[in-house]
């Protein structure tokens, strides 16, 4: 059985750990902002460094609405810009993407202790595949889900519920590692425990729903996971 009875309360054993990608296994927030900043400069549009606060933890469309005027938005093909960013990040990850410290060590620890592992990201499947190969971590994961696998975006629980189903576990048996408000909300709406990876650039309230928080993956160990 996947649970035991303690003091008349059902407590579930954690069997699976589900990882978001951006901001958890790789760093892309500042890198994406810098890419947009450089691109728009060529179009005569100046993004100030301080405008990063409008990008951190938010969807690109909301970012554009906050930092660009109506006239500026008319001269930018945002679909083309998004596709260009994907292509550049896919083909030159060493230039545009930063690895987080402690990621591979945590994956090895969890795999050694027989946890089922998954990558759950709203990135496109090609980007996730490229990053998994670049990080050399594909072998650790039984399930990899992308935006291509779902209809409803985070904080809807769809992607995490689908992950649990594919892993053959219940929501109660899953711990999610996320770094955004919508991602944490998605995990909690799915009935899962959630560890928030804190970034100092995220807006106030981002981590309010998380069961606990860490500043880096190296702070996560078996005792922390099993205590949730």
Question: What is the structure's pLDDT at 59?
Answer: 75
Question: What is the structure's pLDDT at 181?
Answer: 94
Question: What is the structure's pLDDT at 11?
Answer: 62
Closest to 93 (Cα-Cα) out of 21, 29, 31:
31
Distance of CA 213 to the CA centre of its chain: 14
pLDDT in tens, 190-225: 999 999 999 999 989 999 999 999 999 999 999 999
Query: What span, in angstroms and rounded, lies between the C-alpha atoms of 164 and 33?
Result: 33
Arithmetic mean of pLDDT, 99-121? 97
Q: Phi-psi bin for 61: left (phi > 0), alpha (psi -120 to 50), beta?
A: alpha
131 Cβ contact partners less than 8 Å away, ≥ 6 residues apart: 21, 25, 26, 93, 97, 123
The verdict on pTM exceeding 0.85 is: yes
Element (H, E) at 1: none
Question: Which is more confidently placed, 3 or 182?
Answer: 182
Whether 190 and 163 have beta carbons less than 8 Å apart is answered as no
On the question of pLDDT at 175 being above 50, the answer is yes
Question: What is the structure's pLDDT at 5?
Answer: 38
β-pairing, 193-197 vs 212-214, is parallel
Question: What is the structure's pLDDT at 82?
Answer: 87
pLDDT in tens, 44-103: 999 999 999 888 877 788 889 999 999 999 999 988 998 899 899 999 999 999 999 999
| DSSP letter assigned to residue 149 | G
| DSSP letter assigned to residue 107 | H
Whether 115 and 173 have beta carbons less than 8 Å apart is answered as no
> Which sign, positive or negative, has the C-alpha torsion 61, 66, 69, 70?
positive
70 Cβ contact partners less than 8 Å away, ≥ 6 residues apart: none
Question: What is the structure's pLDDT at 10?
Answer: 54
């Amino acid at each position: 059985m996947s649970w035991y009875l303690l003091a008349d309360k059902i407590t579930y054993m954690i069997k699976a750990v589900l990882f978001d990608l951006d901001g958890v296994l790789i760093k892309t927030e500042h890198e994406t902002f810098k890419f947009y900043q450089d691109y728009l400069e060529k179009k005569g549009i100046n993004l100030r460094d301080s405008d990063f606060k409008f990008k951190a933890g938010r969807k690109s469309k909301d970012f554009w609405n906050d930092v660009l005027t109506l006239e500026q938005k008319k001269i930018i093909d945002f679909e083309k810009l998004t596709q260009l960013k994907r292509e550049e990040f896919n083909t030159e990850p060493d230039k545009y993407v930063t690895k987080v410290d402690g990621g591979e060590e945590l994956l090895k620890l969890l795999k050694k202790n027989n946890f089922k592992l998954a990558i759950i990201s709203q990135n496109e499947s090609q980007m996730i595949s490229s990053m998994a190969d670049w990080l050399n971590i594909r072998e650790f994961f039984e399930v990899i889900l992308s935006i291509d696998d779902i209809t409803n975006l985070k904080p809807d629980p769809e992607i995490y519920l689908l992950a649990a189903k594919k892993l053959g576990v219940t929501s109660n048996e899953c711990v999610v590692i996320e770094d955004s408000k919508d991602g944490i909300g998605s995990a909690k709406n799915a009935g899962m425990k959630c560890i928030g990876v804190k970034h100092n650039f995220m807006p106030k309230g981002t981590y309010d729903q998380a069961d606990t928080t860490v500043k880096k993956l190296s702070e996560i160990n078996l005792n922390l996971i099993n205590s949730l």
